[in-house]
């Protein structure tokens, strides 16, 4: 319907729908790809020991301590690291800074649902490129005229990683536009492109503390790229969105990066639980994509995704169902603890048998 009066000037926006946050504690929550394990104990200590009197002052505007910590970890200079309030803030800065051309930007038809949101808000022209039937990205499809490219590696919600030699092929064919790779899930599998940053000055990687570092509630994300591109992201953040990362988050983030052993142990636990879950699901008649993330993307040969979703929900197990073309018979299920995974498997067995 045509909008009337002042309403015709309202933003035309399809609201982003996040995974449901249940109120009850008895729910097994496998619907938002949060980490099954808490953050490093060093994060807890950093927060407990945080000197609250410094909150009187504004935080370090450039989040320098955290940039330096991340730069050292990834072997970069601090000027090549951008820090924001969650990677959604980082992505917003990237879209604003990099996608200002007349040609459409490209991203997969099945991917992170925030990309179309930012394109709509910022009026960025875009073209979606269909994934192949097996939900993989075919880099040959990205050798067309475009104003930039963004895709997650591993992709979401498919969980499938793209081979690095394929990424190199895509980058070689796209030297004149900026390519953003959303490496939200890269710590759980796949190969990071950090070492390609020196070769491709048009490449930017975005990361988050929300998934592999168990800090979704803290809102911390970052990006890595050339000093030039990162300076544009900083300029955008400082002018459009002057909400620097807060002082407590900087301290917590530094502690999380410092505790590398905890980080690696947590990931290895989740990866082995993931592999066990996929195997058990195989035996129950599921077909699951090869996951390189902390979630699986799966369908059953007899029960519809909607049916399984509803049954699990009844049992207090929340998973993600997307009522969207191509993927409406799939479920995205976050890998939980071993105990949660056992409960998930028994619930599914109850339905199937």
Ligand X SMILES: *Cc1c(COP(=O)(O)O)cnc(C)c1O
Residue 221 as a binder of ligand X (CB under 6 A): the answer is yes
Least distance to ligand X from the beta carbon of 211, Å?
A: 6
For the chain, the distance separating the N- and C-terminal CA atoms, rounded to the nearest angstrom, is 48
Least distance to ligand X from the beta carbon of 254, Å?
A: 17
Closest Cα to residue 167, out of 221, 203, 134, 133? 203
- Closer to ligand X by CB, 69 or 88: give it: 88
CA distance 69 to 166: 30
Task: Draw the binding track, 163-202, toward ligand X (x: CB under 6 A; -: no contact).
Answer: -------------------x-x------------------
Question: Stretches 192-200, 205-213, 266-274, 309-317: which one binds ligand X (CB under 6 A)?
Answer: 205-213
Task: Draw the binding track, 137-156, toward ligand X (x: CB under 6 A; -: no contact).
Answer: ---------------x---x
Residue 108 as a binder of ligand X (CB under 6 A): the answer is no
Instruction: Write the DSSP assignment of 138-187 as a string of letters.
Output: -GGGG-S--S-EEEESS-TTT-PPPPHHHHHHHHHT-TTS-EEEE-TTGG
CA distance 71 to 80: 7
Least distance to ligand X from the beta carbon of 232, Å?
A: 20
Question: Stretches 12-20, 102-110, 163-171, 204-212: which one binds ligand X (CB under 6 A)?
Answer: 204-212
Facing residues of 298 across strands? 288, 331
- Closer to ligand X by CB, 86 or 189: give it: 86
Return phi, psi of residue 326, to 5°: 75, -35
What 3-state class would DSSP assign to 259? Answer: coil
Least distance to ligand X from the beta carbon of 57, Å?
A: 26
How many residues make contact with ligand X (CB under 6 A)? Answer: 14
Pairing of strands 286-288, 221-224: unpaired
Residue 39 as a binder of ligand X (CB under 6 A): the answer is no
Least distance to ligand X from the beta carbon of 267, Å?
A: 16
Name which of residues 223 to 252 contact ligand X (CB under 6 A): none
How many CA atoms lie less than 13 Å away from 167 in the CB half-sphere?
28
- Closer to ligand X by CB, 105 or 348: give it: 105
- The position carrying tokens 């499938």 is 160
Closest Cα to residue 211, out of 183, 190, 192? 183
Name which of residues 110 to 139 contact ligand X (CB under 6 A): 112
Least distance to ligand X from the beta carbon of 184, Å?
A: 4
Residue 86 as a binder of ligand X (CB under 6 A): the answer is yes
Q: Which helix (H) or strand (E) holds 80?
A: none
Facing residues of 297 across strands? 332
Q: Which helix (H) or strand (E) holds 207?
A: strand 203-208
Residue 31 as a binder of ligand X (CB under 6 A): the answer is no
The residues binding ligand X (CB under 6 A) are 33, 86-88, 112, 152, 156, 182, 184, 208, 210-211, 216, 221
């Amino acid at each position: 319907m045509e909008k009337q009066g002042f309403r015709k000037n309202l933003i035309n926006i399809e609201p982003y729908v996040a995974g449901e946050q249940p109120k009850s504690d008895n729910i097994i929550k496998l619907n938002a790809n949060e980490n099954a394990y808490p953050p490093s104990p060093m994060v807890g200590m950093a927060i407990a020991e945080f000197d609250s009197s410094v909150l009187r002052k504004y935080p370090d505007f450039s989040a320098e301590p955290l940039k330096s910590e991340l730069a050292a970890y990834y072997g970069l200079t601090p000027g090549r690291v951008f820090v924001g309030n969650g990677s959604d803030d980082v992505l917003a800065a990237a879209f604003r800074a990099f996608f200002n051309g007349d040609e459409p930007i490209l991203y997969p038809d099945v991917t992170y649902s925030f990309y179309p949101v930012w394109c709509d808000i910022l009026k960025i022209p875009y073209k979606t490129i269909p994934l192949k039937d097996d939900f993989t990205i075919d880099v040959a499809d990205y050798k067309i005229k475009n104003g930039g490219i963004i895709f997650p590696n591993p992709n979401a919600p498919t969980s499938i990683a793209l081979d690095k030699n394929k990424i190199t092929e895509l980058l070689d064919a796209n030297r004149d536009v900026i390519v953003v790779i959303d490496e939200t899930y890269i710590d759980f599998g796949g190969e990071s492109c950090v070492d390609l940053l020196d070769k491709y000055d048009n490449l930017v990687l975005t990361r988050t503390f929300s998934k592999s570092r168990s800090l979704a509630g803290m809102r911390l994300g970052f990006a890595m790229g050339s000093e030039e591109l990162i300076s544009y992201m900083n300029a955008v953040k400082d002018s459009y969105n002057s909400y620097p990362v807060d002082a407590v988050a900087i301290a917590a983030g530094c502690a999380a990066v410092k505790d590398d052993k905890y980080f690696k142990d947590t990931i290895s636990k989740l990866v082995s639980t993931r592999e066990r879950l996929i195997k058990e699901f195989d035996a129950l008649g599921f077909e699951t994509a090869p996951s390189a993330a902390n979630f699986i993307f799966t369908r059953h040969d007899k029960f519809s995704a909607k049916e399984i979703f509803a049954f699990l929900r009844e049992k207090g197990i929340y998973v993600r169902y997307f009522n969207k073309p191509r993927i409406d018979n799939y479920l995205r299920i976050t890998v939980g603890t071993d105990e949660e995974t056992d409960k998930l498997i028994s619930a599914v067995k109850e339905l199937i048998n």
